[in-house]
Amino acid sequence: MKQGNQTNRRRFLQTSIAGGVAALTSGATAKEIVLEPSRSTGRDIFETGTYGVPSQFATSARIKGSANGLHGASRTPLAETHGIITPSGLHFEVHHGGVPDIPPLEHKLLIHGMVDDAKMFTMEDIMRFPSVSRTYFLECSGNGEQEWSSPSASTTTVQATHGLTSCSEWTGVPLKLVLNEVGIRTDAKWMLAEGDDSSRMGRSIPMWKVLDDALLVYAQNGEFLRPEQGFPLRLFVPGFEGNMNVKWLHRLEFGDKPWWSHQEVARYSDPRPNGKKVVFSFYMDAKSVITSPSSTMRLNGPGFYEITGLAWSGKGKVARVEVSTDGGATWRDAHLQTPIMTKCHTRFRLPWNWNGRDAILQSRVTDDTGYVQPDYEQLYVEKSRIGMMHNNAIQSWKVAADGNVSNVHHV
């Protein structure tokens, strides 16, 4: 039996090499491989607790309270996540007033204002409505803020430059179903969503979005929301800036005009070159970034590497991702991994044979509205020279001849 496995293994390695991966410089040849005898019995099921944890050898690390000035933020280590789903425990977090611990049996959602019948819903009431599960990205509009205002150090990783985006399967109730129970008056044009944390986060959401795809979310990646993501209930407005996805949701008020809350007037508004500020920008524009190779990684000599990364758009699906290895002089289409879903991270991949010379890696996404991700020069013109929110410019990583990859911001 064991003999058979060894032969299979040898055959597998031989076919791989014959199959055209000869450019790989690492990996032992079959004749060097000596299989160890079977291991002794491993750990028992419950030895590491009743909830599974990653391997002790998996080194994914979070940066909590990272150096971008945002109050209470952690970032997703994008270089160390695979596929499109962010593990719940690595979902980025932004808290304006800490994380409250809310007992779900005590939690209630008040729906009032321009409605026929104001009502209070328990979590049990909400979960009795028909639910849906949808995979969406969530991105803080402050993602990349530092890169825009004052380009950060060459050792800044993709976690620090782009880690305020994550992607999960969210389960919840379409908000419009619940609204049938209260009867929204026809003159209601806006909804205020308010959180039950100390920041009392309040955002005005336009009625058309409420009736389109807004969700009352209670679960994430197959289990209840983490406290940090808004347990027991959060508003989800797919493709809209993170801030509008109000966590610990306890109040929805309907009215005929926006509330001009502190968040929308002071913080989540965008300066423009003409000195004016744009409010209610809502959408996260199409954006992409190469997650590997990326800053602080090291390439082990010339040869084959896979360039891979993530692309997304708050307005729809990713239609195309192009990759440049020469600082934007030439571009090649990357392979888009299916499924490609609306308002969802899409994984792209491109094989690359590195010749060992200096290279500048960039990615550029086009979404299905035809919108193309801008470079920094375009961003300066279209948005602002010194910006804060909604940086979706093309990111550049430099691969030096010694294999070291660094953040060169833009070229």
Q: For ligand MTE, which residue has the nearest CB?
A: 195
Residues 252 to 291: which contact Mo ion by CB under 5 A? none
In this structure, what token pair is assigned to residue 228? 């940090």
Q: Please report where in the chains the tokens 């070229």 appear, as a residue.
A: 411
Q: Is the dihedral of CA 327, 330, 335, 340 positive or negative?
A: positive
Range in contact with Mo ion (rule: CB under 5 A) among 182-190, 241-249, 329-337, 376-384: 241-249
Range in contact with ligand MTE (rule: CB under 6 A) among 102-110, 174-182, 240-248, 304-312: 240-248
Residues 180 to 239: which contact ligand MTE by CB under 6 A? 195, 197, 199, 201, 228-229
382 phi, psi to nearest 5 deg: -75, -35
Looking at beta carbons only, is 122 or 199 nearer to ligand MTE? 199
Query: Is residue 140 involved in binding Mo ion (CB under 5 A)?
Result: yes
Identify the helix (H) or strand (E) that includes residue 63. strand 63-64
What residue 229 binds from ligand MTE, Mo ion, none (CB within 5 to 8 A, per partner kind)?
A: ligand MTE
Looking at beta carbons only, is 267 or 315 nearer to Mo ion? 267
352 phi, psi to nearest 5 deg: -140, 130
Q: Pick from 152, 165, 168, 245: which binds ligand MTE (CB under 6 A)?
A: 245
Interatomic CA distance for residues 72 and 202, integer angstroms: 18
Interatomic CA distance for residues 81 and 94, integer angstroms: 19
Q: Bridge partners of 321?
A: 365
List the x/- string, 67-96, binding to ligand MTE by CB under 6 A: ------------------------xxxxxx
List the x/- string, 51-90, binding to Mo ion by CB under 5 A: ----------------------------------------
Query: Is residue 201 involved in binding Mo ion (CB under 5 A)?
Result: no
Query: Is residue 66 involved in binding ligand MTE (CB under 6 A)?
Result: no
Query: Is residue 242 involved in binding Mo ion (CB under 5 A)?
Result: yes
Interatomic CA distance for residues 167 and 111, integer angstroms: 28
Query: What are the distances in angstroms from CA 341 to CA 135, 239, 245, 345?
Result: 8, 12, 19, 8
CB of 407 to ligand MTE, least distance (A): 22
In this structure, what token pair is assigned to residue 13? 């390695």
CB of 98 to ligand MTE, least distance (A): 8
Interatomic CA distance for residues 342 and 319, integer angstroms: 10
Interatomic CA distance for residues 80 and 342, integer angstroms: 23
Q: Residue 17 carries which DSSP code?
A: H
Residue numbers at the binding site for Mo ion (CB under 5 A): 94, 140, 242-243
Residues that bind ligand MTE (CB under 6 A): 91-97, 138, 140, 195, 197, 199, 201, 228-229, 242-243, 245-248
